[in-house]
A and B are shown apart, each in its own frame.
Chain A
Amino acid sequence: MAGLDSQLDLPKGVSTKVVGKGFDWGRLVRYALLIMFAALVLMPVYVLIVTSFKGVGDADPSRAWAFPKIWTLEPWKTAFVGIGGIPPVGPALGRTLIMVIPAAVISSILGSMNGFVLSRWRFPFANVVFAFILFGMFIPYQAVMVPLYSLVNDLSGIVPRGIPVLIMLHVIYGIPITTLIFRNYYQSVPQELIEASRVDGGGMLRTYFSVVLPISMPSFVVVLIWQFTSAWNDFLFARFFGGNMQTQAPVTVVLQNMATGGTTGSVWGATMAATLLSCLPTLLVYILLGKYFVGGLMSGSVKG
């Protein structure tokens, strides 16, 4: 996991020169393909953006590909504050943020502690314990949904429905992946550093805080981003445990409700604007911290 940000970059000194024989047709074809694929991938984004600036009437499926007759910000306003039967996404975005930040932070801290004791301050059966935790990453949540449903109910006095329950679930079901990422990362930390600290008489926590934590920032960023995006984009838990759509549920539930209603259907512009608004935080993270985002993806591949 070392040097996540350089994983996708070419190793230094690799010769990328194709032995040149006149005009490089290969390169032309490659660029043509790249541009074509990029255009195809961006196609839905084009529709989203264009439609979000169309007035009522103009934003019609049959005119999906056309530019707006008149560019208007009205749909964005409608999406944000809501109108008539359309729930506002503004408060939902706020709630989702309130859900996602603690979910990401707490599970990162747990993952870091687990990763440390599983890789560098090992104890008997550390490997078995690691496998025990890791398994949780692969289960389809449907396999636990029925009893989870009852368990969440039984806990409802302590953990209220809506955002608090979802924070709890994202933290708990985030433990395997965060543990995995940190464990793989700490394995790249030379054992000698830890031993040195131990020889100095440092206890586990001291070693953790003074040696391990200061070098953990890269994986903290990776894990925070990973947890942030997966909790933000979650729909399964949100749908089952989100509670009241207007006052409790995160943005994905509100969005799905918006997308399947006639009143909202007639204001497609607002729905598309709401969709863009709901994607904004994850896209921002992706654009600003893209390299770390990729790092998270890589660690999803189990092998460290």
Chain B
Amino acid sequence: MTPVSETVTSAPPQAAPKPTPAPKRSKRKQWIKRNLPPILLISPSLILVGVFVYWLIFSSVGTSLTNNHTMPQVMGAEEVEFVGLENYANLLRDPDFLHSLRNLGLYTLVFLVGTMFFGFLWAWILEKRARFEGFFRSVLLFPMAVSSVAAGVVWRWLLSPTEGKNSSGLNRIFESLGLTGLENSWAQDSKWGILAVTIPAVWQLSGYVMALFLAGFRGIPNELREAARVDGANEWQLYRHVLFPQLSPVALSAVIIIGHMSLKVFDLIMAIAGKDAYQTMVPAIDVYNFISGRQDYANAAAVGVIMLLAVLVLIVPYLVHTAREDKR
């Protein structure tokens, strides 16, 4: 490396002639010289992102406005026609798709509340240096390193719907503790099955929220604590009036991150309940089912676009907010 760069520097720079007779032309030359390399360096990424994100979204929107619902159309053997917003209108009138959206809403709500609750509680407990803190931190955080599919394998077992003498998993524990009233069919419950899937989801990501909050706690300047103590605040008042308010940006980040993960939920439900289960159906699995088997590309694209809109509603205000904060 070094010899090469030596030769580069020892060679007289090309832009050496300083007093330029044609300043305009040289300015442009300099601009190019200054900006071309970084633009070249970033352009492969820009092209890839441009094609694989923007162009594909554009193309998805296009497909979602057509009647491309069958294999012969996908194969180009039959006409594909522009139908405007018809697919969206039909989806939003379809009780089954509305049910998927309802499931997604419920899941997101409980997943958010659960991870925020446990994440915050754990961070609070660990906030003051405790013995074995590193150990507890690691234990509480590790499920994040496990794939949803792997988590699904074991949680599928724990959430086994069989009850009574043949029960297994969590129901087994309730059975042996005599708490038979707590036994239930978990992810197969016809109304609330989707909520059972939030249990492993909360298990996986509470540690992450904990880490966020812990970093938040630790980022609070020490002077604030000292000042509050000097003012005679007790522990609770210190937290309530001084420390907690400092955490609201962290809480906002956490809500955004967990929220947008939640809107994309796919792996966990596929692993625990499978692609067909109605009570745990969410839009991401609808997309899979539309593509898979029946080749209904138009509806698959439309559901995908609806998911994108849901994420945008969550993300855009946050990004705008962050950008404003940065400027200040």
Contact = CB atoms under 8 A, between A and B. Distances in A.
Interface of A: 7-11, 13-16, 18, 27, 30-31, 33-34, 37-38, 41-44, 47-48, 60-62, 64-65, 110, 113-114, 116-118, 121-124, 129, 131-133, 135-136, 138-149, 151, 172-173, 175-176, 179, 200-206, 209-210, 229, 232-236, 239-240, 252, 255-256, 258-260, 268, 271-272, 275, 278-279, 282-283, 285-287, 290, 293-294, 297-298, 300-303
Interface in B131-165: 136-158, 160, 162
Interface in B36-59: 37-39, 41-42, 44-46, 48-49, 52-53, 55-57, 59
Residue from B56, B136, B152 having most chain A Cβ neighbours under 10 A: B56
A44 B151 contact: yes
Chain B interface main SS type = helix
A37 B122 contact: yes
Given A139-B57, A202-B9, A260-B274, A65 B172 contact: yes
Chain A interface main SS type = helix
A41 B203 contact: yes
B300 interface: yes
Interface of B: 1, 5, 8-9, 13, 34-35, 37-39, 41-42, 44-46, 48-49, 52-53, 55-57, 59-60, 63, 118, 122, 125-126, 128-130, 136-158, 160, 162, 166-169, 172-173, 203, 207-208, 211-212, 214-215, 218, 222, 225-226, 235, 249-250, 253-254, 256-257, 260, 263-264, 266-267, 270-271, 274, 283-284, 287-288, 291, 297, 300-301, 303-305, 307-308, 311, 315, 319, 322
A297 B266 CA distance: 21
A204 B307 CA distance: 41
A213 to B, nearest CB: 10
B37 A204 contact: yes
Contacts of A303: 249, 253, 322
A15 B224 CA distance: 12
Contact of A278 (B35, B44, B150): B150
B281 to A, nearest CB: 14
Contacts of A133: 45-46, 49
